[in-house]
Structure 1
Amino acid sequence: MPKVLPSFPVSGLFAVAKPSGPTSMSVVNDIKRLVVTSRIFVEEDKIPKKPVSTSTKRHRYTKEIVKIGQGGTLDPLADGVLVIGVGKGTKRLSEFLDCVKEYRTTALFGCETDSFDSEGAVVRVAPWKHVTRELVDEALPKFRGEIQQKPPIFSALKMDGKPLYEYAREGIPLPRPIEARKVTIHNLDVKEWIASDHTFRYPTKKFTDEQKAAVEKALHGIEDQVKVNDEPEQADDTVSATACVLQMKVSGGTYVRSIVHDLGHAIGSAAHVVTLTRSRQGRFTLEPESEKDVACVPWSVFEKALADPGERDADGWTEWERAVIENLEIVEDKHHHNKKDT
């Protein structure tokens, strides 16, 4: 049943199911090319007559047409819920930074990377053949509830105005320890035990001895253990290292990569993220379970429209516009809201 919309244009929130690969910003920019041409969000006399480019020259122009933003970046590797705000909807995006989120992630044991995921370079390899589901299940309780979590040194968080990853790469000692953050892990369980039946492999990028020394220097005097030496098991290229899928519900500000990395240490191994899916962000979800849940628009719908918007239906909407309308949360301005309440 199509939802009844007020007069156009409107401001609103919707979510896209971001694919793994592109950056969140590139996804937003691509969607913006469509949004600025739609009477859902733009007055008809302001819709550009020519196709909209994402080039820098056109950025200011499109910004004047309509504002658009996202409610919490996903790493390029990650897929799943990316909340988009248009018009006055951009003012509501901050709500999604601190809301409860749900993730599914695949952890691959025996290897640690600088970024804590498969996009990074190998920092250290460690034993993994002793890792069992029972061992992981025994370690998980210490990661549940309210915990103190340290963001990775290879992150964009700044200390004295300098990103942490620059200290690590340049071998500059950190001015002080990385501050642990209080986060809440509501649920954390093994969803699937893959063991070695998979095709995941360690990254081919390696940390050089020089780079390892730089990290040790950056962390010197702060971390209890600053050595990043390898402790490899006997190499066997025919055997895949153990992996498992973790499912979790967490508070805003939680680093899923850090949970996987710290879990590797807790079981006497190493680990990094090879897949990451945000399955829920607040009320937006990949799999709606109740009337309050809002589904995501598949990325393929936007991708298809960018290549060819297609024919309009009887109501004058293209396929992508209809998909957005069906999953759009309208944000009314104060004037409309008060009028509705009186």
Structure 2
Amino acid sequence: MTGQTFYGRSLHKLMSQPAILDGVFAVHKPKGISSADVLRDLQRHFNPSEFWKPWIERERSIREREARLRNSRRKVKRVEVKLGHGGTLDPMATGVLIVGAGRGTKELNKFLLCKKVYETVVVFGCATDTYDRVGKVVSKAPYEHITREMVEETLAQFRGHIMQRPSIYSALKQKGKKLYEYAREGIEPPFEIAKRPVEVSNLEIVEWYPPGTHNYDWPSEEAGLAEKRAVSMVNKAAAPADESHKDPDTEISSKRKQSELDDAIEDATTKRSKESDGSAKPAPATEAASDLPAEIEDKHTTEESKPQPPAVKLTLTVSSGFYVRSFAHDLGLALGSNALMSELVRARQGDFSLDPDSILEYKDLEAGEEVWGPKLRKFLDDYAAKTMENNVTSTPAQSEPKQAADAAATSRSPVKSPARSPPRSPRRSPSPQKPIKQEQDSTEY
């Protein structure tokens, strides 16, 4: 067999092998599941597919070779398609979830820093421990005074470069414990929740919902007295610098509510103390609401009989680190009321959007590989082409200024006569140096 024939057959064999694809794509996350659930669902469809078979076989061979080099007798574990996401979405949220596959998982960090576009529905008059509709109600406030014009005017203070305090219910921990857990145990929070710089480049009203024209209801589950007290403690610790900016009427109202809550807790504690002494019959745990004073119970009943509160749908273009739920909470306070996030859609993250031609739908997965396979191949090919294009266009841009500067410096340098130049010292031969390992440039797009 000649070398040319061998080379030709090897090239044909190489070209006939199925392509091994890696990269980044977007999935339209549905409501009711977590971001981790999305990755598990993708693996359930990807692992047995023909599409990912070449990648799995390559990964298995790599692991087996590494095991032989280590002289390991352990059996190589089952290989699954490697997946990760570029920014989590809450179970209640829908929209763009960026997913990295294979080597694409190494590129996910850059998507955490890009701008995002959200659509959210904010409902006024109610606050929960999580700042959204899946939490427990911790307080209610008047909302009859809120109008569209008032919201439009108030939105101005949330545009541009602002300082935002993260949600109390966010993943902030101290010594492995969430902040609100300290308050729940009656311990003073060990640190202040500091405000962080964020940017809101666009914030507009999409639709205004007057009272009685929508179905965005308040949560039905009321937080217990201990939970309300915990949230109140954390709120106080979270905003110690804001005391001087409080409106007198709002401050009096807040103090009155806190006083009522403290009295309710004290009465409930006294009642439990009497029960332990045998002077009163113990009440079932389900009757905890009856520990509230009559005036508070009547107040809650009256509020539930009021007309439905107003709501508003907003679109926001924000920087990384922005909490939409915190924005909803702060908007309610700025309007002299309460508010919660009822709906959330991530409409765009970086270059990925909800365009049906550029995102993988969940119904595509259920339809089978013959449907999602061609779409996914196109998404990965498009991402690879765009990444290559950005790498090519960015390299000359980095080198051209230096070349131009060198050329300009050479043209401006005067040519000196050899006779006038001072004698040069003998040039030493450079000492041998180790080759410098150059890292591959990862260009953001």
TM-score clears 0.5: yes
Aligned residue in 1 for 2:24: 13
More strand by share: 1
- What is the match of residue 120 of structure 1? 135
Q: CA deviation at 1:323?
A: 2.1
Q: CA deviation at 1:220?
A: 4.5
Residue 38 of structure 1 aligns with an amino acid whose one-letter code is: S
| Alignment match, 2:169 | 154
Shift of residue 212, structure 1, vs aligned partner = 1.6
Q: Which of 7, 32, 41 is the aligned partner of 2:43?
A: 32
User: CA offsets, 1:206-259, max 9 Å, x none?
Assistant: 112222222333455553478675887943547321001010000011000011
CA RMSD of aligned residues (A): 2.9
| CA–CA separation in structure 2 for the residues paired with 1:39 and 1:330 | 21
Query: Is the 2:56–2:81 contact (alpha carbons within 8 Å) kept by the matching residues of 1?
Result: no
Counterparts of residues 99-138 of structure 1 (less than 5 Å): 99-138=114-153
**Alignment CA distance shift 1:234-1:132 (3 Å):** farther
Q: Indicate the SS of the match to 1:212.
A: helix
1:156–1:165 Cα contact (<8 Å) kept: no
2:218 equivalent to 1:202: yes
Task: Give the AA of the match of 2:160.
Answer: G
Distance between the aligned counterparts of 1:158 and 1:44, measured in 2? 38
Whether 2:387 is the aligned partner of 1:322: answer no
Contact 1:131 1:242 in 2 (8 A): yes
Amino acid at match of 2:323: Y
The answer for the alignment partner of 1:257 in structure 2 is 325
Question: What TM-score comes out, normalization by structure 2 length?
Answer: 0.63
The percentage of counterpart residues that share the same residue type is 39
Distance 1:318 1:26 in 2: 23
Instruction: State the shift of 1:191 in Å.
Output: 0.8
Check conservation: 1:102, 1:278, Cα contact below 8 A: yes
What one-letter code is carried by the residue in structure 2 that aligns with 1:135? M
Distance across 1 between alignment mates of 2:162 and 2:55: 51
The superposition leaves residues 1-60 of structure 1 with CA deviations (integer Å, 9 ceiling, x where unpaired) of xxxxx951111111111011111101111101222233444417739xxxxxxxxxxxx9
Say whether the 8 Å CA contact 1:127–1:232 is kept in structure 2: no
> Does the CA-based 8 Å contact 1:172-1:218 persist in structure 2?
no
1:9–1:43: 8 Å Cα contact kept in structure 2? yes
Question: Cα 1:37–1:275, aligned 2, differ >3 Å: closer, same or farther?
Answer: same
Query: Unpaired runs of 5+ in structure 1?
Result: 1-5, 48-59, 289-293, 310-316
- Would the alpha carbon gap of residues 280 and 75 (structure 1) be closer, same or farther in structure 2, given more than 3 Å must change? same
Judged with a 3 Å threshold, the aligned counterparts in structure 2 of structure 1 residues 270 and 25 are, in CA distance, closer, same or farther, namely same
Question: Any idea what SS the aligned residue of 2:226 has?
Answer: helix
Aligned: 1:180 with 2:195? yes
The range that moved more, 26-35 or 79-88, is 26-35
Unaligned 5+ residue runs, structure 2? 1-16, 59-75, 244-250, 259-295, 396-445
Distance 1:73 1:222, change over 3 A: closer
Post-superposition Cα deviations, 1:238-294, rounded to whole Å, max 9, x if no partner, equal: 732100101000001100001111000000011001110000000000138xxxxx7
State the secondary structure of the residue aligned to 2:303: coil
Superposition pairs of residues 1-342 of structure 1, within 5 angstroms: 8-43=19-54, 46=57, 61=77, 64-196=79-211, 197-220=213-236, 223=239, 224=243, 229=258, 234-235=302-303, 237=305, 239-287=307-355, 295-302=358-365, 304-305=366-367, 309=368, 318-328=370-380, 329-331=382-384
Give 1 or 2 for the bigger CA radius of gyration.
2
User: Do the aligned partners of 1:8 and 1:40 also contact (CA within 8 Å) in 2?
Assistant: no
> How far apart, in 1, do the equivalents of 2:171 and 2:194 lie?
14
Distance 1:114 1:201 in 2: 16
Q: Number of matched residues?
A: 304
Measured in 2, the distance between the counterparts of 1:253 and 1:144 equals 15
Greater mean alpha carbon deviation, residues 120-129 or residues 321-330: 321-330
Higher-helix-fraction structure? 2
* Contact 2:180 2:231 survives alignment (8 Å): no
